[in-house]
């Protein structure tokens, strides 16, 4: 057992000391105590910082990565905000609102499968014996199924016809013209090249998985061969990417961001060192483009090279590397509120939780989040307004809230422990303040850099699958492929169809005019239809239930207690506009009539039951899902 040294309880003899010596001794002891207290306070602060960082690391590793907070201080009223926005819209001239305001597009829910799909009719017929005595027969569609046709590989054999003509004693040979391949001598068709590019860069499939998939289809295509195809196509696509870059830099508003990429074989760099993939998003109206560019450096010279001819407004995060190009080209720089909000979210999550039962004021990180959420609430309300209306609302509503937020930051930043996450978030916001308020200068600017970050997200997802690039040539080729895919998506084109179209025509595009026809906003391809999610409580089990739901809606307008009908169903009755066509089959008409009759009977029974319960002064005991039992409308 460890023995502690004995502490003497006897006090030192101070009788032989003079008064001056005693005073000096006491002063020295006080200095020692003060120094120990200071060291103890610094140690406690350091422990608090370490505990905060540890809580943040645990949250980042195990908790959800959502930036939503359930305990944010609600410091604004949504209804009051809507009233203020409507009042500001009334102050604008009528011609501004009618001319600039976009018309809200009424999007209907998709029922069944898309009309663009190939349809095959399968007739289920009766036998001749079963049709004996029938006056007439007809077909009614009773079911639709979605069939998947597996991919397959086939070999295209090109046989070139040749004709021999006698000419002055010699034979003259005339051959049919061969199609021009973008890679010259290549065993892969343009459709296969488009599939490989789309699978890796749009779907995130590494080449070794594609190698196994092709092997199962009957022919092994090595990953080395596919990688060589992609690298060789980089030189083919470079003129088109250069033209996209020129069009993008001619615009007045761009967004930029960068992310890490591991490249194994890079001159002057180790395998584990950071290399960077740069992204710029923007372009003239109706000509958006998303361009990726690889560079092993994160220095300010990279934006200077990428934004050579750009002189508009650049939106980026707080990275200082963009300052060089802004000073050189006279670019106006604005900030991103997502980055500022993210720091407050991290500080809020890492804050120490108070003991249960103790009421405490919201943490400063929560209060800062509430100030920022006011700005985002305004942006959500005005997203469908015109540029002039957005500018007016931001000037009247957002700027006062920004001034209040800045005053709060300046008053509280020194009250927070130095080095803490909350202090870092507040200092970052104050340092970037002049850039963060820049979005209020115009109505077409965004509050955050989210569009550029969303363009990087597919790259980040694919990076988790293929992990790294072997050489810088592969990194440049990846940047080119991502540029084509994300630009196609930004123009509502299907990436595989667009890349296949480019591969089919780029080999013969030997002039600038021919190359411009391959830009995504100039090609004549079908746009991608954006599908909408249908809530479960709006999906009915069979076709007749649609008409029954319409009958219930009509009945609810006649019965005074229609609100009780909706309460009993646990879901509001949604309006479903599915009129019967003039060419409706007899089966559909019969189904509709029976459904309406069922709805009428159901309404009568419910009114009778409700009246009986009221007379008996007893609560209604109808089950919550009685509509589902009778009609087939699922609840929730």
**236-280: pLDDT as tens digits:** 999 999 999 999 999 999 999 999 998 998 888 888 888 999 999
Of the residues 477, 504, 531, the one at which a domain ends: 531
Single out the residue of 367, 262, 248, 255 nearest to residue 310, CA to CA. 248
- 328 and 271 in a common domain: yes
Mean pLDDT of 34-50: 80
Q: Is the pLDDT of residue 542 over 60?
A: no
Residues 555 and 513 in one domain: no
Q: Which of 75-79, 131-135, 493-497 has the lowest mean pLDDT?
A: 75-79
Question: Does 317 map to a domain?
Answer: yes
Same-domain pairing of 252 and 320: yes
Does the structure show a pLDDT above 60 at 213?
yes
Q: Which domain holds residue 545?
A: 536-630
pLDDT at 267: 86
Average pLDDT estimate for 108-116: 73
* 526 lies in the same domain as 543: no
On whether residue 478 sits in a domain, the answer given is yes
- Give CA–CA dist 491/610, Å, rounded: 56
pLDDT at 166: 86
Of 507, 531, 555, the one marking the end of a domain is 531
User: Considering only 21-25, 215-219, 300-304, 477-481, which range has the smallest mean pLDDT?
Assistant: 21-25
More confident residue, 555 or 436: 436
> With 80 as the cut, is the pLDDT of residue 386 above it?
yes
Q: Does residue 371 form part of some domain?
A: no
Do 542 and 485 reside in the same domain of the chain? Answer: no
- Whether 397 maps to a domain, the answer reads no
Chain segment 470-482, per-residue pLDDT in tens: 899 999 999 999 9
Residue 523 and residue 594 share a domain: no
pTM higher than 0.75: no
348 occurs within a structural domain: no
Q: State percent of the chain over pLDDT 90.
A: 44
Same-domain pairing of 183 and 303 = yes
Q: Mean pLDDT of all residues in the chain? A: 79
For range 557-584, the mean pLDDT: 40
Domain ends where: 494, 512, 531?
531
Assigned domain for 401 exists: no
Average pLDDT over residues 582-609: 61
Mean pLDDT along residues 11-28: 76
Rounded to 10 degrees, what is the CA torsion of 421, 423, 424, 427?
160
* Residue 546 phi, psi (nearest 5): -60, -50
- Cβ atoms of 446 and 439 within 8 Å: the answer is yes
- Indicate whether 193 and 309 sit together in one domain: yes
Q: Does residue 175 have a pLDDT over 60?
A: yes
> CB count, 10 Å around CB of 287?
19
The closest alpha carbon to 141, from 112, 121, 115, 168, belongs to: 121
**Number of folded domains that form the chain:** 2
Stretch among 173-182, 487-496, 594-603 having the lowest mean pLDDT: 594-603
CA pair distance 274, 262, nearest whole angstrom: 6
Taking the C-alpha atoms of residue 537 and residue 535, their distance in angstroms, rounded to an integer, is: 6
* 400, part of any domain: no
Q: Are residues 226 and 298 in the same domain?
A: yes
The verdict on 245 and 293 lying in the same domain is yes
Of 57-71, 247-261, 306-320, the range with the lowest mean pLDDT is 57-71
Q: Is the confidence at residue 438, as pLDDT, over 60?
A: yes
The answer on pLDDT for 135 being more than 50 is yes
244 close to 293: Cβ distance less than 8 angstroms: no
Same domain, 328 and 458: yes
Give the confidence band of 439 by pLDDT, cuts at 50, 70, 90.
Answer: very high
User: What pLDDT, on the 0 to 100 scale, is given for residue 624?
Assistant: 44
User: What is the arithmetic mean of pLDDT over 214-223?
Assistant: 92
Most confident listed range (24-28, 153-157, 603-607): 153-157
Residues 473 and 593 in one domain: no
Neighbours of 440 (CB within 10 A): 20
Residue 109 included in any domain: no
Asked if the model's pLDDT at residue 553 lies above 50, the reply is no
Please tell me the predicted confidence (pLDDT) of residue 410. 93
Min mean pLDDT across 313-322, 444-453, 570-579 is at 570-579
Check pLDDT > 80 for residue 563: no
């Amino acid at each position: 057992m460890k023995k502690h040294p004995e502490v003497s309880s006897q006090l030192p003899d101070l009788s032989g000391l003079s008064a001056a010596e005693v005073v000096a001794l006491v002063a020295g002891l006080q200095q020692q105590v003060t120094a120990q207290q200071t060291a103890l306070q610094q140690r406690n602060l350091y422990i608090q910082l370490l505990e905060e960082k540890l809580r943040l690391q645990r949250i980042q590793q195990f908790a959800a990565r959502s930036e939503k907070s359930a305990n944010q201080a609600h410091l604004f009223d949504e209804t009051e905000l809507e009233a203020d926005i409507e009042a500001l819209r009334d102050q604008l001239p009528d011609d501004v609102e009618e001319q600039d305001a976009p018309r809200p597009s009424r999007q209907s829910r998709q029922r069944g499968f898309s009309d663009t799909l190939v349809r095959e009719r399968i007739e289920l017929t009766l036998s001749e014996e079963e049709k004996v005595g029938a006056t007439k027969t007809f077909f009614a569609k009773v079911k639709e199924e979605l069939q998947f046709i597996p991919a397959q590989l086939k070999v295209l054999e090109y046989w070139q016809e040749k004709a021999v003509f006698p000419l002055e004693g010699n034979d003259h040979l005339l051959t049919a013209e061969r199609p021009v391949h973008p890679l010259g001598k290549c065993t892969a068709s343009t459709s296969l090249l488009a599939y490989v590019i789309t699978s890796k860069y749009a779907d995130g499939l590494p080449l070794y998985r594609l190698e196994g998939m092709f092997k199962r289809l009957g022919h092994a295509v090595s990953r080395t061969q596919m990688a060589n195809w992609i690298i060789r196509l980089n030189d083919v696509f470079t003129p088109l990417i250069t033209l996209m870059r020129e069009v993008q830099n001619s615009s007045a508003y761009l967004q930029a961001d960068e992310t890490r990429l591991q490249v194994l074989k890079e001159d002057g760099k180790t395998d584990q060192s950071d290399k960077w993939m740069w992204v710029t998003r923007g372009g003239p109206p109706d000509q958006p483009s998303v361009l990726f560019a690889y560079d092993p450096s994160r220095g300010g010279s990279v934006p200077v090279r990428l934004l050579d001819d750009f002189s508009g407004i650049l939106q980026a995060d707080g990275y200082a590397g963009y300052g060089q190009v802004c000073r050189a080209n006279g670019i106006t720089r604005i900030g991103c509120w997502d980055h500022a909000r993210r720091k407050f979210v991290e500080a809020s999550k890492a804050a120490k939780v108070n003991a249960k039962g103790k009421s405490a004021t919201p943490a400063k990180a929560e209060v800062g989040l509430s100030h920022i959420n006011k700005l985002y609430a305004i942006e959500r309300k005005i997203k469908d307004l015109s540029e002039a209306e957005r500018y007016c609302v931001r000037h009247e509503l957002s700027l006062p809230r920004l001034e209040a937020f800045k005053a709060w930051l300046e008053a509280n930043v020194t009250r927070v422990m130095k080095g803490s996450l909350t202090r870092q978030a507040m200092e970052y916001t104050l340092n970037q303040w002049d850039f963060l308020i820049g979005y209020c200068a115009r109505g077409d600017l965004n509050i955050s850099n989210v569009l550029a970050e969303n363009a990087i997200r597919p790259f980040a997802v694919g990076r988790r699958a293929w992990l790294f690039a072997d050489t810088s040539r592969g990194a440049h080729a990846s940047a080119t492929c991502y540029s084509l895919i994300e630009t196609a998506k930004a123009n509502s084109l299907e990436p595989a169809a667009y890349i296949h179209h480019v591969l089919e025509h780029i080999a013969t595009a030997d002039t600038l005019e021919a190359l411009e026809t391959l830009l995504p906003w100039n090609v004549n391809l079908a746009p991608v239809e954006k599908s909408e999610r249908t809530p479960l409580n709006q999906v009915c089990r069979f076709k007749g239930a649609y008409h029954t739901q319409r009958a219930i809606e009509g009945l609810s307008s006649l019965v005074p207690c229609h609100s009780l009908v909706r309460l009993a169903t646990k879901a509001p009755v949604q309006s479903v506009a599915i009129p019967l066509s003039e060419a409706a089959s007899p089966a559909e008409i019969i189904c509709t009539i029976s459904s309406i009759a069922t709805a009428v009977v159901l309404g009568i029974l419910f009114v009778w039951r409700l009246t009986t319960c009221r007379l008996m002064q007893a609560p209604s005991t109808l089950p919550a899902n009685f509509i589902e039992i009778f009609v087939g409308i699922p609840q929730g």
